[in-house]
Structure 1
Amino acid sequence: MGTGGVGGLSLEVSGLDAVDGPPVLDIKPFVAEFGPRGPVAQPGWATELMRGYW
């Protein structure tokens, strides 16, 4: 597998912010209908922390 894909019981991902090695047990897509209702707010420190993340 290259930069992502499915092979048998294996799922290869790229760009995942996680520790290499431990199994990932709960893979599912994000579905907007299951997301928060209404606007989402977070404290200023969280915004500052994530400012240069991507």
Structure 2
Amino acid sequence: MSTEKKSFPLAEDEWQVILDSLSNTVFNEELTEEARKKAKDLFVKLQKELPRK
């Protein structure tokens, strides 16, 4: 697996779509607890870095 980091610039509204999708994933009861925790952690991290409209 490559450790090279790639940059994918997205518009603010595109990030909002990602956050909305992650939010749905975080609260999906069909996920394992570990997958839900990882999605939730990523959601919180992104939400802190993305200014809300």
TM-score for the superposition, normalised by structure 2? 0.25
State which structure, 1 or 2, has the greater radius of gyration over its C-alpha atoms: 1
TM-score by length of 1: 0.25
